[in-house]
Amino acid sequence: MTSDVSAPPMLLNICNMSKSYKDYGSELRRVASWLLPVPMKQETTILHDINIQLKSGEAVGLVGENGAGKSTLLKLIVGTLKPSTGSIQVNGSISAILELGMGFNNDLTGRQNAAHSAALMGHTPDQIRAALPDIEAFAEIGDYFDQPMRLYSSGMQMRVAFAVATAFRPDLLIIDEALSVGDAYFQHKSFNRIRDIQAQGTALLIVSHDKEAILRLCDRVVLLDGGTVLQDGVPSTVMDYYNAVITDRDSPVTVSELPSGEKQTSSGNGAAQVTSVKLQQLDGKSAHTLYVGQRAILTVDISVFEDLPELVVGYSIKDRLGHTLFGTNTFHTKQMLTEVKKGQTIQACLAFDVNLGAGNYNLSLALHSADTHLEHNYHWLDYALIFEVVNIEHPHFIGTNFLNTAITQHVCSEQINAKPLDKEKLEHD
286-308 pLDDT, tens digit each: 889 999 999 999 999 999 999 99
Mean local confidence (pLDDT), 382-404: 93
CB atoms under 10 Å from CB of 413, counted, come to 5
CB atoms under 10 Å from CB of 414, counted, come to 5
260-390: CATH number: 2.70.50.60
Mean local confidence (pLDDT), 318-337: 94
Using the predicted structure, report yes or no on whether residue 377 has a pLDDT greater than 90: yes
pLDDT band at 360 (very low <50, low <70, confident <90, very high): very high
Extents of the domains making up the chain: 10-238, 260-390
Residues 319 and 357: their CA atoms lie apart, in Å, by 10
> pTM of the predicted model, to two decimals?
0.79
pLDDT band at 26 (very low <50, low <70, confident <90, very high): confident
Residues 44 and 213: their CA atoms lie apart, in Å, by 32
Mean local confidence (pLDDT), 208-220: 87
Q: Which has the closest alpha carbon to 73: 290, 195, 229? A: 229
pLDDT above 90 covers a percentage of the chain that reads: 57
* pLDDT averaged over every residue in the chain: 88
Higher pLDDT, 375 or 215: 215
pLDDT score at 3: 47
pLDDT score at 372: 86
pLDDT band at 178 (very low <50, low <70, confident <90, very high): low
Mean local confidence (pLDDT), 391-419: 83
| Stretch (H or E) spanning 322 | none
Using the predicted structure, report yes or no on whether residue 162 has a pLDDT greater than 70: yes
pLDDT score at 1: 47
Using the predicted structure, report yes or no on whether residue 212 has a pLDDT greater than 90: no
List Cβ neighbours of 36 (8 Å cut-off, separation of 6 or more). Answer: none
10-238: CATH number: 3.40.50.300
Handedness of CA 329, 381, 322, 372 (dihedral sign): positive
pLDDT score at 425: 53
pLDDT score at 8: 65
Handedness of CA 26, 28, 33, 37 (dihedral sign): negative
CB atoms under 10 Å from CB of 273, counted, come to 17
